[in-house]
Amino acid sequence: MTDVGEIIKALNDFGRFQHWLVLMITIVSPFGGFHMFSQLFMVIPVPHHCNTNWLDAIHLNLTEEAKLNLTIPRNPDGTLEPCLMYTPMETNPETILQSGLNSTEKCQDGWVFSSKPKPSLITQFSLVCDREDLIDISQSIFMSGLLVGAVVLGPLSDWYGRRPIALLSLFLEGAAGVAVAFAPSFYLYCGLRFLLGAALSGINISSTALCTEWVGIAYRPHAIITTHVTFALGQMILAGLAYGLQDWRHLQIAGSAPIFVFFFYICTMIIKAILFSFSLLFFQFLIFLIKLTPKQKPNSSTVLDLIRNPQLAKMTLISSLIWFVNSLAYYGLSLNVGSFGLNIYLTQVIFGAVEIPARILSVFLMQRFGRKKCQSLCLLLGGTFSLLIIAVPKDLPVVTTLLAVLGKFTMAASFSTSYVYSAELFPTIIRQTGLGVCQMTARVAGIISPLVDLLEKYSTSLPVGVFGSAAVVGGVFTLLLPETLGKELPDCVDDLTRKSRKGKKTNDSVENGCAKPNKDSCLSERITTTHF
């Protein structure tokens, strides 16, 4: 018993320290759900039209309604054209009144918002007409922060420890979140959102590692699913805050400032963690003195090792595809919560609530039907529900929203399944590298997902069609992967090509669907002590 995993098991797989650890992680997870989708409530469409103050210089005695009729063209339904205006003419007032204005052009002097809405990103930075695409681009920039955060903060977490990087990321999340509310320009807003995304990625990586390394094997799925559930609660809380605080700056502060309270609270709990760390070091030192057993040094692995073996290369490509389409469809539905026809606040609450049973149910479905069937079925159903949205008429928003909710349910369950399934597919020696590649492809899909919405200008059903088709393709390719339920986890790459492993002593056996270390194996997994 010379590794940290066995030391934790000897002390307590899920004792008082682990309870505090999971508690500290779960109380900050809702902020991730808030910031991930908060921009949706800051860009709610507002009626607008071109600013035509040039007419005031002519000093025509006209009412405001008459000025609009004279300078702004109307749509067939009688509403004002939001992005066009009649071309100003330098002529006498009588000619304008008699002949009117005929030629049109794009807005030249900004826009006027018809009503008096609460301040939003749209009114603050004029994100309408030709600038409307900046909304999706800014969300893509935020997703890019998640990718960069994973690349930068992930290795830093390995080098300097989970705790300092988690606390640094938490502080950065609060500071960047509050700073966003005071951004004077849209470009600075995007830059701060980029930092916010990087901070969220750092928290996610560190918290997942802590749950994996400090919690006993049998309790790891429960700890990870708990963080997923609280992430969904954050989405529900977002809807309530957005409904009560319709000023985007107030909403941003309300979802960011409390982070500092939890930050200082967690800092006060670090003493307990340090004491537990000292106890672990003491036990490890005793075991080192009692039993010194030479162990084979594991070979270092690289990304290239994933493609050298044909079977491993196939699993890597398909697993990466699963993570890509899963992320693409999940964020595609989540970021379009306001386009299904019902009240955006109610839909957001439903979208967040439906993830809770989906993620919990996925654990039981994996144990009952297996990883491959559960993964494939969720992707196929999620893609089918998304494609069915295209066939629903726009005057049936309840049906559209119902299909979207079912799609969100299955995609959330598929996401939770991916965490378990992918970890069991890759051999021990290269498991972390394989999971890193899969999560990287998911981040790339998160960046692309908001940009797919730009296709809506060509066809309103095109984005949903892309999301649904991608999920269906992923579900079909999942059937090419092997089942891992009840099977021993591979230790070496060579284990993938062996037809039978019965009677073979391995490093990992499966007990209730979880890995259980044995003493003998071809190669054991390197377990490093977390600097907590």
- Kindly state whether residues 331 and 443 are assigned to the same domain: yes
Please give the pLDDT value at position 471. 93
Stated pTM of the model: 0.77
- Kindly state whether residues 215 and 329 are assigned to the same domain: no
Confidence band, pLDDT 50/70/90 cuts, at residue 514 = very low
525 domain residue, yes or no: no
Question: Which two tokens mark 9?
Answer: 């098991």
Please give the pLDDT value at position 195. 94
CA max distance for the chain: 104
**Cβ atoms < 10 Å from Cβ of 105:** 11
For residue 319, give the CATH number of its domain.
1.20.1250.20
If you write DSSP's letter for every residue of 145-199 in order, what string do you get? HHHHHHHHHHHHHHHH-HHHHHHHHHHHHHHHHHHHTT-SSHHHHHHHHHHHHHH
532 domain residue, yes or no: no
Across the chain, mean pLDDT equals 78
Please give the pLDDT value at position 476. 94
Separation between Cα atoms, residue 471 and residue 361, nearest integer Å: 20
Last residue within a domain, chosen from 82, 116, 150:
116
If you write DSSP's letter for every residue of 322-343 in order, what string do you get? HHHHHHHHHHHHHTTGGGSSS-
- Kindly state whether residues 192 and 313 are assigned to the same domain: no
Confidence band, pLDDT 50/70/90 cuts, at residue 189 = very high
100 domain residue, yes or no: yes
Inter-CA distances, 296 with 222, 284, 293, 433, 520, Å = 32, 19, 10, 20, 11
**Chain centre distance of CA 512:** 29
**Chain centre distance of CA 335:** 10
Is residue 31 predicted with pLDDT exceeding 50? Answer: yes
Please give the pLDDT value at position 276. 55
- Kindly state whether residues 259 and 195 are assigned to the same domain: yes
286 domain residue, yes or no: no
113, β-bridge pairs:
48
Please give the pLDDT value at position 506. 40
Burial group, residue 138, by CB count within 10 angstroms (0-12, 13-18, 19+):
buried
Please give the pLDDT value at position 224. 77
- Kindly state whether residues 134 and 91 are assigned to the same domain: no
Please give the pLDDT value at position 270. 58
- Kindly state whether residues 378 and 243 are assigned to the same domain: no
Confidence band, pLDDT 50/70/90 cuts, at residue 516 = very low
Please give the pLDDT value at position 6. 60
What H or E segment, with its residue span, contains residue 204?
Answer: helix 186-214
- Kindly state whether residues 264 and 394 are assigned to the same domain: no
- Kindly state whether residues 74 and 221 are assigned to the same domain: no
Separation between Cα atoms, residue 334 and residue 405, nearest integer Å: 10
Is residue 165 predicted with pLDDT exceeding 60? Answer: yes
CB 293 within 8 A of CB 435: no
Please give the pLDDT value at position 8. 61
- Kindly state whether residues 156 and 31 are assigned to the same domain: yes
Cα-based angle 131, 132, 137 (whole degrees, multiple of 5): 95
If you write DSSP's letter for every residue of 139-151 in order, what string do you get? HHHHHHHHHHHHH
437 domain residue, yes or no: yes
If you write DSSP's letter for every residue of 424-446 in order, what string do you get? HHS-GGGHHHHHHHHHHHHHHHH
298 domain residue, yes or no: no
Separation between Cα atoms, residue 509 and residue 303, nearest integer Å: 26
Is residue 301 predicted with pLDDT exceeding 80? Answer: no
pLDDT (tens digit, 9 = 90+) per residue, 339-385? 887 888 999 999 999 999 998 888 888 888 888 999 999 999 999 99
Please give the pLDDT value at position 153. 80
Please give the pLDDT value at position 140. 92
Separation between Cα atoms, residue 139 and residue 450, nearest integer Å: 6
Domain extent for 130: 1-45+119-281
398 domain residue, yes or no: yes
273 domain residue, yes or no: yes
Separation between Cα atoms, residue 361 and residue 378, nearest integer Å: 12
What does DSSP say about strands 508-511 and 111-113: parallel, antiparallel, or unpaired?
unpaired
- Kindly state whether residues 150 and 15 are assigned to the same domain: yes
- Kindly state whether residues 99 and 30 are assigned to the same domain: no
How many domains does the structure of the chain reveal?
A: 3
Is residue 485 predicted with pLDDT exceeding 70? Answer: yes
Is residue 408 predicted with pLDDT exceeding 80? Answer: yes
Q: For residue 469, which of 404, 394, 382 has the smallest C-alpha distance?
A: 382
Q: Which of 323-332, 344-353, 394-403, 429-438 is least confident?
A: 429-438
CB 409 within 8 A of CB 354: yes
- Kindly state whether residues 112 and 125 are assigned to the same domain: no
Is residue 527 predicted with pLDDT exceeding 80? Answer: no
Which residues are CB-contacts of 227 (< 8 A; sequence separation ≥ 6)?
Answer: 22, 25, 26, 29, 207, 208, 211
What H or E segment, with its residue span, contains residue 320?
Answer: helix 310-334
